[in-house]
Structure 1
């Protein structure tokens, strides 16, 4: 099985030559920056083949380090980059966004103002229109905004949307973390909406195997199916080991069959983001393992 982590961060130090926004230090996962080399070592230790780099919000709208890392490790790393949401003048680069090697799409964070208010007021319609016009995949972290995202999906039915972290609020734990799960599941009616099952141990009140996450995950999986649920880590803020975050899916969820895991653990996000195999990409083996529910993949 080929494993692809749907979200990891790397970042540099806050320096005069490369300053962060004023509130950046308060939201960073840790004080010491994380390099591509450290991230690849974490992936290698758990047998994970690839990862999607998501430039963190605490650096501002910067993509330089992520793009450089993807250029250096093209068969291991690719980027869902950031774009300033300051107005329609920013739409121009989207038409050429994927021309840069390793650049797969855009990631928005709408959980804080002013972006949350702009989104709810319809002032980001220029972005949805531009991304839709060039079939650019969009990851969006928008806790409490699933109903509004459903309206975006309705108006732009060809736009590939990925809802991050199952839309769980950043500091919430079970069961409060999934209080709005019904709204998220309603998005499954839109065939171009998928979800990232990332950073989930952060929302558990229990140690591995995080049994309070199992029922919400099963509801999400039943709604979206294996080709629209993407495993990942956001490893720099995990309260557990990276391997435990892998094994939550590969070992602890009996409702996922081996065929389901084939998609959830990597193949589905590669397909969704059009990230092709490279020369060192491992050959596929026949899918074998625990049977899961009758009927195999859904």
Structure 2
């Protein structure tokens, strides 16, 4: 069975490079770290969510292994031309919208997670319309606000929309330790839109239990029932597996190595489970991502 990881970010070394290491060398090392990571767990291919420079370097060096997703400048005057060029570039598969203030919350976990002003003020409307025009799938890092994507799905029925991270927040804020799945009903509500898909991602970070994360399955089954496996895709987001959970709100950084989650475990809990059929696994691991992203793979 082919296994495609529908989200990885660019890996980086734990210690900074020396000043004499060139930017080109840093990119090459990062690409090799990503390649080694997927090789080590026998993932066949991966979708990279990173800067344009890293995306291009990864796809150029290993076009058989990597495709890429980019966050574009939604306000760029030449956005139409940029999207056309992106669409025409081999291995460039889709775009991403960041509708919340997750970035600042990541730095300061005491802040409330909210929709950002750009999303609320209609600042992304042109971005989505042009993505629909160019047939570029759009990932939404919506966290607890998946239901807010409903008007987008309705206004842009030909836009493929993928909701990241099970549609729930995977923030490091300690106050979500009560019910990490509390926003799941908002995701299930938008299953009625056939152009909406779900990326099932980051399981080790939301589970309260050790591998194989049995407590996730009651929620996962609800998603599979609502969307069907043909609209769900697996992803590891493996670089985040080093985060763990903070001891207190002012400690959002990496935990000790002993607390890191495992890339292998984030794959194997699903690969070896008896909770779903082999045909469902085939959709989650490759069928859906290939179909949704129109990724023709040799």
Same fold (TM over 0.5): yes
Deviates more, 1:183-192 or 1:235-244: 235-244
Matches within 5 A, 1:38-57: 38-55=33-50
Higher helix share: 2
- Equivalent position of 1:296 in the other structure: none
Partner SS for 1:227: helix
Work out the CA distance in 2 between the residues paired with 1:273 and 1:175: 35
Per-residue CA deviation, residues 71-116 of structure 1 (Å, 9 max, x unaligned), is: 1100100101120133554343112322111111112222218982
2:54 pairs with 1:65 = yes
Per the alignment, do residues 18 and 204 of structure 1 end up closer, same or farther by CA in structure 2, a change over 3 Å counting? farther
Provide the residue aligned with 2:71 in structure 1. Answer: 82
- Displacement of 1:37 in angstroms is 1.1
Q: Is the 8 A contact 1:4 1:49 kept in 2?
A: yes
1:1-298 correspondence runs (5 A): 1-10=1-10, 35-55=30-50, 62-86=51-75, 89-112=78-101, 116-169=116-169, 170-171=171-172, 176-238=179-241, 239-252=260-273, 254-278=274-298
- CA shift, 1:63, in A, is 0.9
Query: Which segments of structure 1 move beyond 4 Å, counting only runs of 4 or more?
Result: 11-15, 172-175
Give, in angstroms, the shift of residue 11 of structure 1.
5.5
**Aligned 8 A contact 1:87 1:126 in 2:** no
TM-score by length of structure 1 reads: 0.79
CA offsets, 1:183-216, max 9 Å, x none? 1011111111101011121111211011221111
SS in 1 for 2:135: coil
C-alpha contact 1:118 1:124 (8 A) present in aligned 2:
yes
- Measured after TM superposition, the shift of residue 175 of structure 1 is 5.7
Q: Name the structure 1 match of 2:249.
A: none
Measure, in 2, the Cα distance between the counterparts of 1:18 and 1:187.
46
CA contact (8 A) 2:11 2:33 kept: no
Provide Cα deviations, 1:246-274, integer angstroms capped at 9, x if missing partner: 1111223x331011111101121011111
Give the conservation status (yes or no) of the 8 Å contact 1:171–1:203.
no
Question: How far does the alpha carbon of each residue in 1:112-157 deviate from its partner, in whole angstroms, 9 at most, with x for none?
Answer: 1898211122121111111111111111101232222011000100
Structure 1 spans left out of the alignment, 5+ residues = 20-32, 56-61, 279-298
2:22 and 2:9 mapped to 1: Cα distance?
A: 17
State the partner residue of 2:256.
none
CA, structure 1 residues 166+88, in 2 after alignment: closer, same or farther (shift >3 Å)? farther
What is the aligned residue count?
Answer: 257
CA RMSD of aligned residues (A): 2.5
Matched-pair contact (CA < 8 Å) for 1:162–1:193: yes
Partner SS, residue 211 of structure 2: coil
